[in-house]
Amino acid sequence: MRTGGVELCVAELGDPGRPTVVLVHGYPDSKEVWSEVAPRLAERFHVVAYDVRGHGRSTAPRPLRGGFTLEKLTDDFLAVADAVSPDRPVHLVGHDWGSVQCWEFVTVGRTAGRIASFTSMSGPSLDHFGHWINSRLKRPTPRRVGQLLGQGAKSWYVYLLHTPVLPELAWRGPLGRRWPRILERVEKVPGGGYPTPSLPSDAAHGAWLYRDNVRPRLRAPRADAYAHAPVQLITPLDDAFLSERLYED
């Protein structure tokens, strides 16, 4: 389907008459990351998974800069939701950067009534993250400073993704070739059809998710970013990139 100057690849499983679940993948993934989950959910739900713009079989915006803002990602979600479930709200599930953008979807006024619930996995609201940082800078204690430093160390890759050109060269070169083995060894991800061959370009394009959104939103988090649908928060144990303390406030 075409929306906002890009073409999104959308997959559907299950009975369209049942409640719709929309799955939103993270970085540097594509909708294929849901390949083991979607068929199981499809036994009870109408399941929809789409490649985020610039990933998988969805096209990338031109220019890339400014093409991955949370506002444009919200436009994409609404286009998908209106196409697959025009008359009923959808249940939203997001992982990693899919969860980050879903927090935007569930807290902006223009999506009110389109989301029945939101399940978040491994991806915080950037607004919440910004307030979390600011509260610790304004009222520092040894414990709070330790939390800031701990999360800062876990976020090392975010700094790298903001550097020009280097992430693209790495993903289209040695890192892209070695990533499947890294996943198998470090995160115990089984082999098979994932990651897909589009990984190098997915990861290169996806760097703009960070560049277009992280700094602007952390510097000026919204004060009214409250969810207008029920939220289920799933926090993995021993997350290498996000501290559990991030969800305290």
pTM of the shown model: 0.93
- pLDDT score at 171: 92
Q: Is residue 240 part of a domain?
A: no
Full domain range(s) for residue 225: 2-235
Would residue 116 count as lying in a domain? yes
Residue range 63-101, pLDDT digits in tens? 999 999 999 999 999 999 999 999 999 999 999 999 999
Instruction: Write out 11-50 in H/E/C secondary structure.
Output: EEECCCCCCEEEEECCCCCCHHHHCCCHHHHCCCCEEEEE
Q: Is 133 contained in some domain?
A: yes
Domain count, the chain: 1
Which DSSP state fits 95? E
> For every one of its 249 residues, what pLDDT tens digit does the chain have, with 9 covering 90 and above?
999 899 999 999 999 999 999 999 999 999 999 999 999 999 999 999 999 999 999 999 999 999 999 999 999 999 999 999 999 999 999 999 999 999 999 999 999 999 999 999 999 999 999 999 999 999 999 988 998 888 888 888 899 999 999 999 999 888 888 888 887 777 766 555 566 889 999 999 999 999 999 999 999 999 999 999 999 999 888 787 888 878 777
CATH code for position 38: 3.40.50.1820
Domain membership of residue 242 (yes or no) is: no
Q: Is residue 246 part of a domain?
A: no
Does a structural domain hold residue 37?
yes
- Collapsed DSSP state (helix, strand, coil) of residue 89: coil
**Structural domain includes residue 248:** no
247 located within any domain: no
